[in-house]
Structure 1
Amino acid sequence: MSPVYRNAFLWMIIAVLMILLFNMFNNAGNYSFVKIDYTKLIRLVDSDKIKSVRFDGNEVYITTTDGKRYRTYTPEVKDIADKLAKKGVDVVVKPKENNSILTNILIYWVPMIVFIFLWFYFMNQMNKGGKALNFGKSNARMFVSDPKNRVTFKDVAGIDEVKDELLEIIEFLKNPGKFTKIGAKIPKGVLLVGAPGTGKTLVAKAVAGEAGVPFFTISGSDFVEMFVGVGASRVRDLFNQAKRNAPCIVFIDEIDAVGRQRGAGVGGGNDEREQTLNQLLVEMDGFQTDTNIIVMAATNRPDVLDPALLRPGRFDRRIVVPKPDVKGRLEILKVHTRKIPLGDDVDLEIIAKTTSGFVGADLANLVNEAALIAARKNKTKVEMEDFDLAKDKVLLGPERKNAIISEREKRITAYHESGHAIVAKMLPNTDPVHKVSIIPRGMALGVTQQLPEDDKYTYDKEYLMNRIAVLMGGRAAEEVMLGSITTGAGNDIERATEIARRMVCEWGMSSLGPIHLSDEGKEVFLGRDIAVRKTFSEETARLIDAEIKKIVDDGYRIAVEIITENKDKVEKMAQRLLEKEVIDAKEIDEILGLNDDRAA
């Protein structure tokens, strides 16, 4: 018999004894009467020795004149009571209680049953590691691969290089003997690094699905609690569970929540978090080396992780999960539209080309939004129009249909957006203008949407200067066409200034030369340094400000020149916007008298 059930048996005996004691004390007053037979009762009634009598149902409790007390049972309660009353004896008759068996159970047994049930509940919680009494158990969830519903590499698209890197891990989990025979050691841990939404968690699930092994998943923040020592205890419990189910995969999402460098931050670090990290380090590379447990973790901040976590023997491999290129986006769209009925006009290649910078989560959201839009319109298929509307909603925010915009503000917005579009069309080496709209979306009253034709990984100086000119095109159009300026260019100016600052301080695209002059310090709780140290003098700071101003002024000057030379086209486009509110690339080319080729 296990200790838990041995204790349960003991507690049941105690509960029964408590019930017996309860009944005993409840009837303690009755046990002071001496039990007699019915014959003696008749003799007492006939004599004059009874002082008082109490009838409790058919039970008779007698007190004699000499102080003696008797009790017995009689079916003739009424006759005896009348006879004694005529003799002047004090008679008390208590009506008979017709308590059923159920009533007796409710009165005497239910409280004890409830007590026993509660006791068993808490004992079960302790035995299973429930949250009520055991904080040291991990919150990891275990998924066992279901051949019918498991996630595999077929569900992962756009990151073929990452899948190739992980094939070796899968092979080890399927056939570890192949590697151990020749003395090879499989990597203990795999760190997946990438921007949010690139599919790090999905990749880990796919590895477990391909290998057909149990998959434990937990977030880094689940280890940390307000109680000291809980995090380390949960790490031990997690790995104990994993060892019992080996070979398996342990996936820790957002590991930077628990794996930040020790000693960083105000006050030298957090003791509880560091204890948790220390335990994780021990479990990953302690004395036991043949556990057949692969630890996978995901983060988008690898720079803040403790060096001991990244050394060989712990996270041996660091795999970057990049944003997908145009080919990858096409494959991802195919995966997410497998169960979506698409219209004949839907071209996934065009959608992939016009969604530069989108990650897997963004594309999944785009497909879902398009399906929702089609459903709201009672369509049976999702058409290209629905994808365009979904893209606008994802990029710019929902349309503010109830926004009340005055005719004057609408006119200013039309000229402002026309300025952006004209400058973008007249300058070479800029992103194509996809759409111009003066319909309020999100926080903007209008938008000029430019979508790059290809994925860009580097930017030349000409592109950046032209980008600044395009951003300043709205302000330039307001000044040239309306003779006044408004606050509508606030965000444009901020973005143009940021590009200019990075050109000067980070990319060496100014007269100051190829020198890194950024004074951005590390974040206190995420990085390694607390103080922000400026690496240049005040004189250099003045030169930086002057260079930034010069770059932005040059961009503004170029925009003003283009708007001045094309006043008629700006006017025509603004009027078209006031009429239709939205114009696409073909209409823009028609207004400007351009062919499909870009203007020189």
Structure 2
Amino acid sequence: MNNFSKNLALWVIIGLLLIALFNLFQSPSSRGPQSNIPFSDFLAHIEANRVSDVQIQGNSITGKLQDGRTFSTYAPDDPGLVDRLTASGARITAVPVDDNMPSLLGVLVSWFPMLLLIGVWIFFMRQMQSGGGKAMGFGKSRARLLTEKHGRVTFSDVAGIDEAKEELQEIVEFLKNPQKFQQVGGRIPKGCLLVGPPGTGKTLLARAIAGEANVPFFTISGSDFVEMFVGVGASRVRDMFEQAKKHAPCIVFIDEIDAVGRHRGAGLGGGNDEREQTLNQLLVEMDGFEANEGVILIAATNRPDVLDPALLRPGRFDRQVVVPNPDVLGREKILNVHVKKIRVGPDVDTKIIARGTPGFSGADLANIVNEAALMAARAGKRVVTMVDFESAKDKVMMGAERRSMVMTEEEKRLTAYHESGHAILAWVMPSSDPIHKATIIPRGRALGLVQQLPERDRLSLTREWLTSRIAVAMAGRMAEELIFGRERVTNGAASDIQQATKIARHMVTQWGMSDSLGPVGYDENTQEVFLGHSVTQSKNVSESTAQQIDMEIRRLISEGLEKARQVLTERLDTLHTMASALLEHETLSGDDIGALMRGEPLPEIKKQHFDVARPGSGSSGKRGSVPTTRPVEGGDPGGVEPTPQPGT
């Protein structure tokens, strides 16, 4: 729009100059200096025979005297004026009223449409001559030059992904001191691809590179290249690299590159011509006949599996930097970065929060800090305390507290025994993670929860830990059966059964932890893909093997159920005591549960460290223990999701 305004202003100036030249070359008579005299003086000059020439145009009279002076006057309707001029010997010229020379405004109005058409025609011709179909700016790159004078991000603002920072730090060092690498014959990678789940900080890393390198930084989204007109995206790629070459050395960052870099030829119809032309142009610009010295391309995606192989080969994206979800130490560092922006109380311990958020990304942790600050402000506090962080974490993991529906005393009692069963097995079973808290306050779809706090992130899962998880999951149902009888067992253990079944199935079919089936992987269902679409399903196991798999899964769950029966029967008094404590206080901390398991009484006045007790509040959700990893999206938040297999 800036270029269009400049062109329009230029043509307006040219038009005004033409009008000025037009007026400049008017007849000398119309441009000569004239004196305006009264009509009575004009009559006196006639009587004295001093008028030589007269031009009459309506009531306007101009002329010249015998001494060469010119004059003008305005005459009223005088029928005898012409006779007197004739008698005085003056030469008389009559001009029609509409035969006058056009004024400046008249010329402008009459010539403006023509000048406008000529200007628009020349504008389009210039755009078409610039190549690439750039009419109306369709072919111009939408890359923005990032100049962060305020809110500059550096590597000190990025935490929890130290390995990725080290690899990208090398790019920054090359831009600052290229001789260090060139003197040993090394060259900087032409492209760097940031790969990782959503919210892990890929875009933040790119902004940190821009802040650290102090070089021009162009940023654009992959979707900005694709338009409905074929060839526009390729033109934008060319224009983007032309701009980058002018500012070299520089960095070009393409966010969500999978929008333009998808595998060519995939899908019905052979793909999209516009997208494929854009990708072809990008491949040529990155590594073609013309070298792009000093232009480093950084791209980010969470779908590396759909990218075209030609885009990932060395010479284009030479380096792939994995940006994973942070571990427990990384989560603590990320939380320390975010809590600097809020006012926190002295009781806030980011290490405890980091332990209780396995599987969370940097964006999730930032959300927890923000939710804690909002809760503190809502309560009228001046600082954010640990209670606010615990409530924010529960809200993000399990949902908001349910206040609309009221639980009956019988439902509260059922929930208390259900959660007490989970807590007792979690305390007793070997390799089990420490208990953080147990509560019967409903959140989301769960009527209650028992939250375990792992001391570290588990990278390898043992059979002992997995069988303990199954027993803990089935303990809630077993507690209901022991106290209320088989006929009074509720559907509150639905999510527990699902997560126990999932763990058992992984143990049998993928992790080789079945004695009868052995260390063999059994992928039961596979899909055949034709032209990008799933068309058939087939089984890779026989019917007899499938029956053995089902029997092994049932055996593992039954053993966990029997283990829960044995432990709860031996500790029936502890089960009653813990359920009574939950009914009275609604929330028990890990220390409280430990005291009950050791047979120690609780303090008479128990301070609620986590949730505010609200007798009578409730919901119609499911019961279950809180997972030690984040619930799978779309899954039941009351279940315990098995930790992913190492390497997946």
Matched AA of 1:505 = T
Correspondence for 1:316 = 318
Question: SS where residue 363 of structure 1 aligns?
Answer: helix
Distance 1:135 1:491 in 2: 53
Q: Deviations over 1:564-597 (max 9, x none)?
A: 33332222222222222211112212222268xx
Matched AA of 2:553 = I
* Deviation for aligned residue 1:527: 7.8
Query: Is residue 138 of structure 1 aligned with residue 135 of structure 2?
Result: no
Q: How does 1:26-425 map to 2 (within 5 A)?
A: 133-146=136-149, 149-425=151-427
Distance 1:152 1:163 in 2: 11
Q: Is the 8 A contact 2:268 2:532 kept in 1?
A: no
Matched AA of 2:494 = G
* Deviation for aligned residue 1:434: 1.0
Query: Is residue 573 of structure 1 aligned with residue 578 of structure 2?
Result: yes
The 1:497/1:576 distance shift into structure 2, 3 A limit, reads same
Correspondence for 1:428 = 430
How high is the TM-score relative to the length of structure 1?
Answer: 0.76
Correspondence for 1:93 = none
Q: Say which of 426, 439, 442 aligns to 1:440.
A: 442
The 1:3/1:258 distance shift into structure 2, 3 A limit, reads closer
* Deviation for aligned residue 1:255: 2.2
| Identical-residue share of aligned pairs (%) | 59
* Deviation for aligned residue 1:543: 2.3
* Deviation for aligned residue 1:520: 5.6
| More divergent stretch after superposition (229-238 vs 411-420) | 229-238
Distance 2:508 2:529 in 1: 26
Q: Say which of 547, 561, 566 aligns to 2:552.
A: 547
The 1:506/1:185 distance shift into structure 2, 3 A limit, reads same
Distance 1:3 1:142 in 2: 21
The 1:11/1:324 distance shift into structure 2, 3 A limit, reads same
Distance 1:442 1:472 in 2: 21
Q: Is the 8 A contact 1:468 1:555 kept in 2?
A: yes
Unmatched segments (≥5 aa) in structure 2: 19-38, 40-58, 61-73, 79-104, 601-648
Unmatched segments (≥5 aa) in structure 1: 18-37, 39-57, 60-72, 78-103, 596-600
Distance 2:11 2:233 in 1: 35
Q: Is the 8 A contact 1:15 1:112 kept in 2?
A: no
Q: How does 1:522-541 map to 2 (within 5 A)?
A: 532-541=537-546
The 1:13/1:243 distance shift into structure 2, 3 A limit, reads closer
* Deviation for aligned residue 1:74: 8.8
Question: SS where residue 480 of structure 2 aligns?
Answer: helix
Correspondence for 1:67 = none
| More divergent stretch after superposition (134-143 vs 196-205) | 134-143
Q: Say which of 492, 496, 499 aligns to 1:492.
A: 496
Correspondence for 1:462 = 464
Q: Is the 8 A contact 1:159 1:321 kept in 2?
A: yes
* Deviation for aligned residue 1:210: 0.9
Distance 1:310 1:161 in 2: 21
The 1:287/1:132 distance shift into structure 2, 3 A limit, reads closer
* Deviation for aligned residue 1:463: 0.6
Q: Deviations over 1:85-114 (max 9, x none)?
A: xxxxxxxxxxxxxxxxxxx99xx89x989x
Correspondence for 1:501 = 505
Q: Is the 8 A contact 1:193 1:298 kept in 2?
A: yes
Instruction: Give the root-mean-square deviation of aligned CA atoms.
Output: 4.0
Distance 1:213 1:512 in 2: 60
The 1:509/1:453 distance shift into structure 2, 3 A limit, reads same
The 1:513/1:264 distance shift into structure 2, 3 A limit, reads farther
Q: Is the 8 A contact 1:215 1:250 kept in 2?
A: yes
Distance 1:454 1:203 in 2: 26
Distance 1:221 1:525 in 2: 27
Matched AA of 1:384 = M
